[in-house]
Amino acid sequence: MPADILRTHLDPKQRAFRAEGVVSATVRQQRLQSVIDMLVQHSDELCQAMGEDFGGRPAVFSLANDIVGSLGSLKHARDHLSGWMADEARPAFPPFDAFGSTAWVRFQPKGVVGIIGTWNAPLFTLLSPLASVLAAGNRAVLKPSEVAPRTADTLLRAAQACLDPEVVSVITGDVALADQFTQLPWNHLVFTGATAVGKKVMAAAAQHLVPVTLELGGKSPVLIGRSADIRNAAERIAVGKSLNSGQLCVAPDTVWVHASQLHALISALQEYYAGLYPALESNPDVTPVINERHFARVESYVADAGARGARVVMAGDWPSSAGAASRRMPLRLVINPDEQSDIAQQEIFGPAMVVRTYEDITQAVASINAGERPLALYHFGNDLQERDWVLDHTLSGGVSINDVTMHPALHDAPFGGVGASGMGHYHGREGFLEFSHMRTVYSAGQHDPRREWGMLPPYTTAFEQMIRSAITP
Ligand code: NDP
């Protein structure tokens, strides 16, 4: 199979890339426009496919997250790439600069980029990075997740109808194909998915020294400072956590609150969550958990924590068996679970949330810093000193202050993780740079003073003294 993929998807694009030479701003804009047009023309079928894959994901969420979200990235890249592409002058060094030498950085496309996406945002995780990849003048092959098969097939058909297969194509298949995809000699590979799989992807890419952008997950924490308006924090957390039923890479995973505010937080979360979703089983606004396996996974995290003595609170007035038939799972809050429980160790990625109490916020920060670096971190509070202290003493892919899940929507700011939550970025100029080779060019002046200044062999003591005089503090 790798040979087939190479022949039909990678080789022709690499040949076309080599033959093309310069990829003008106009050509890049046209390629981005063809993806935009594809999305506009096929938005309804793509939304229907995403709805069916989830067993009833609200069309408005698919439209907002995957269609409009991707369009935002694609249009931003289309409208800004000519400014990003311009060569950047750099100072040449003395004494050559005095004789007319110059230097600049040229941003050149790398070639053909493989992009592997996830099921939870099945278009956004392919098309938002594609915006940066095409802006930088590359070609791409997209590999959607088989966990959302209707979306993958619909995207495949839409791409076949709308895109030049020598520029962008889609390949569908199972995990074996995904594994083989990572073995190919891409010029760059973008992987969005779990941290454990990201390690395998990076190891596979190392065979051909393929540079990787890894967009991974993790346990994104929320720090509620004592100065925060608890009701406001609860409302925003309830809204953010319920997006895609917590099946978001930046979903709040563990909420830290001062012990004295725990009760107020739980009550407000229950009130706001129940207000957003007064019904569950038949509520078309609630995204189901994607499949039985993930439903059972989240259930087992909650059950394991309960069995180890954690208090489990339903964020709504539902029986404990609610949601099993439709996979519309109620949000449950797991209070101060055992450190060794699954829910404390694993990324939840579904409708459950850990709530932990602190006496001093430094304890919460120490606990966060003892774990892996998360993809997102959230701070609530009006104490600006505390906010800056938290920013200075933690590291995460990105941050939202007094809200959750907002910063990834910034099309003009880098989106990516750090440490176990990933490496590299897309979005904005940083995304363009990620998929460009930053090529330094030095151009010599008319006159080379090295011989007349005694800088060439046979070396003289005068030259040595001249060099030594440059050793200054
Ligand atoms: P997975 O890591 O299971 O899968 C991600 C993609 O990788 C899928 O296309 C999958 O294919 C493919 N894949 C699976 N195994 C391999 C392998 N051995 N080699 C190469 N590719 C492989 O993640 P999920 O799809 O379950 O997504 C959830 C994870 O993704 C969470 O950790 C979440 O935080 C993270 N995520 C990160 C985002 C970010 O921007 N940082 C955004 C969205 C999610 P297939 O599905 O066909 O098996």
Nearest to 170 by CA among 5, 17, 285: 5
Which residue has a Cα nearest atom 7 of ligand 1? 193
Distance between CA atoms of residues 290 and 247, nearest Å: 9
Domains and CATH numbers, the chain: 3-216+421-437 (3.40.605.10), 221-409 (3.40.309.10)
**Distant-in-sequence contacts of 290-293, Cβ < 8 A, 24+ apart:** 290/53, 290/54, 290/55, 290/119, 290/120, 290/147, 290/148, 290/247, 290/327, 291/147, 291/327, 292/327
Give the position, in ligand 1's atom list, of the atom nearest the Cα of 294. 26
Helices 384-393, 361-370: inter-axial angle, 10-degree rounding: 20
452: annotated active-site residue: no
Q: Is 426 helix (H, G, I), strand (E, B) or coil?
A: strand
> What's the pLDDT score for residue 54?
98
Taking the centre of ligand 1 as the mean of its atom positions, its distance from the CA of residue 116, in whole angstroms, is: 8
Tell me the chain's radius of gyration from C-alpha atoms. Answer: 26
> What's the pLDDT score for residue 6?
78
Distance between CA atoms of residues 214 and 212, nearest Å: 6
Structure letter (DSSP) for residue 374: P
Region label for 349, one of left (φ > 0), alpha (ψ between -120 and 50) or beta (otherwise):
left
Distance between CA atoms of residues 289 and 56, nearest Å: 10
The predicted-structure confidence for 2-60, as pLDDT tens digits, reads as follows 678 878 999 999 999 999 999 999 999 999 999 999 999 999 999 999 999 999 999 99
Taking the centre of ligand 1 as the mean of its atom positions, its distance from the CA of residue 316, in whole angstroms, is: 31
Which residue has a Cα nearest atom 44 of ligand 1? 249
> What's the pLDDT score for residue 403?
98
Provide the CB-side half-sphere exposure for 4 (13 A, CA).
Answer: 6
> What's the pLDDT score for residue 95?
87
∠ CA 302-400-192, nearest 5°, is: 65
Distance between CA atoms of residues 343 and 356, nearest Å: 12
Taking the centre of ligand 1 as the mean of its atom positions, its distance from the CA of residue 291, in whole angstroms, is: 15
Choose, from 47, 215, 235, 434, the residue flagged as catalytic. 215
Cα 463 from chain centre:
53
* Amino acid letter, 189: L
Taking the centre of ligand 1 as the mean of its atom positions, its distance from the CA of residue 198, in whole angstroms, is: 8
Which residue has a Cα nearest atom 8 of ligand 1? 145
Q: Per-residue pLDDT tens, the chain, 473 aa: give them.
A: 667 887 899 999 999 999 999 999 999 999 999 999 999 999 999 999 999 999 999 999 999 999 999 999 999 999 999 999 999 999 999 889 999 999 999 999 999 999 999 999 999 999 999 999 999 999 999 999 999 999 999 999 999 999 999 999 999 999 999 999 999 999 999 999 999 999 999 999 999 999 999 999 999 999 999 999 999 999 999 999 999 999 999 999 999 999 999 999 999 999 999 999 999 988 999 999 999 999 999 999 999 999 999 999 998 777 766 777 899 999 999 999 999 999 999 999 999 999 999 999 999 999 999 999 999 999 999 999 999 999 999 999 999 999 999 999 999 999 999 999 999 999 999 999 999 999 999 999 999 999 998 999 999 999 999 999 999 99
Give residue for tokens 């790798």.
2
Which residue has a Cα nearest atom 10 of ligand 1? 145
249: annotated active-site residue: yes
Which residue has a Cα nearest atom 39 of ligand 1? 215
Taking the centre of ligand 1 as the mean of its atom positions, its distance from the CA of residue 216, in whole angstroms, is: 8
* Amino acid letter, 353: M
Dihedral Cα 178, 179, 183, 186, nearest 10 deg: 20
DSSP string covering 50-88: HHHHHTS--HHHHIIIIIIHHHHHHHHHHHHHHHHHS-E
> What's the pLDDT score for residue 462?
93
Give the position, in ligand 1's atom list, of the atom nearest the Cα of 417. 41
Taking the centre of ligand 1 as the mean of its atom positions, its distance from the CA of residue 244, in whole angstroms, is: 16
Which residue has a Cα nearest atom 15 of ligand 1? 175
Which residue has a Cα nearest atom 41 of ligand 1? 215
Taking the centre of ligand 1 as the mean of its atom positions, its distance from the CA of residue 388, in whole angstroms, is: 33
Spell out which residues line ligand 1, taking CB within 6 angstroms: 116-121, 125, 143, 145-147, 174-175, 178-179, 182, 192-194, 197, 200-201, 215-217, 249, 347, 349, 375, 417, 422
The residues with which 192 forms a beta bridge, in sequence order, are: 215
Taking the centre of ligand 1 as the mean of its atom positions, its distance from the CA of residue 442, in whole angstroms, is: 42
Neighbour count for residue 298 (Cβ, 10 Å): 22
Choose, from 47, 249, 347, 372, the residue flagged as catalytic. 249
Nearest to 11 by CA among 136, 198, 126, 169: 169
Contact call for residues 347 and 243 (beta carbons, < 8 A): no
Beta strand 422-423 pairing with 436-443: unpaired
φ and ψ at residue 436, rounded to 5 degrees: -110, 150
Contact call for residues 426 and 397 (beta carbons, < 8 A): no
Tell which one of 186, 197, 297, 405 to mutate to probe ligand 1, the residue whose CB is within 8 A of the most ligand atoms.
Answer: 197
φ and ψ at residue 258, rounded to 5 degrees: -65, 140
Tell which one of 192, 423, 427 to mutate to probe ligand 1, the residue whose CB is within 8 A of the most ligand atoms.
Answer: 192
Which residue has a Cα nearest atom 22 of ligand 1? 178
> What's the pLDDT score for residue 7?
82
φ and ψ at residue 126, rounded to 5 degrees: -100, -45
φ and ψ at residue 192, rounded to 5 degrees: -115, 130
The structure's pTM equals: 0.96
Q: How far is CA 263 from CA 335, 357, 383, in A?
A: 11, 11, 22
